[in-house]
Structure 1
């Protein structure tokens, strides 16, 4: 595990049980999957790298743009395949092949990740085959210089 990965995993674990809130990004109060990533980013780097415009729950189905993958690629390093992924890496998921990727989580081990689960809370889930086949991209948070 990298130094940044260790930090990301530790912070993500502190978000477990935070209620699900669309567009939220406050630990213990509420967040969605993007809000979880934004909150972790703020805790590590201070400020978010870019402004996030308001978004509807169905934004990926309507727009078709790969906004989540593009943003991850602008601010994090691309990891080539799950075999090269390390704890602390950002996982981006696509639920259906015809739609843009719209879910994110943090890899916390070879077989588990932390994510904000809609209508529930931030949870640790097994990275079962159903999740693995939906991975659209894997990204590594930048080391602090």
Structure 2
């Protein structure tokens, strides 16, 4: 007698059930962007603060970060109101970044500057808190600019 090779119906059903479970659990994490927007906003604001500090040190001048809480816009400039803009190294245009709509941004210091030594202006600790408004289970992310040193963490 000949022995047939292949999969049994039970094995095929088990594979289909496991694939379905993985798709039901993992797919929403990859399809929905809402959970990643707060992380992206955190990275964008952190990099803008660090770029402003490094530019101030490199050019030995004051560079300001202006965060508009209403429009969630970040701009870098040589004046506190961004009239004279710092250039974005990627686009060679004014450094302006817009954060996603589904995040809440809170800070007591919407405008912070860095002097030629990298120290913050005003010389005080500044904190920025980013919260996802669509996915409340996401933890709030906090960015701190240290007084005296201007260290961004």
Q: Same fold (TM over 0.5)?
A: no
TM-score w.r.t. length of structure 2: 0.28
Question: RCO (CA 8 Å, sep 6+): is it higher in 1 or 2?
Answer: 1
- Point out the structure with max Rg over C-alpha: 2
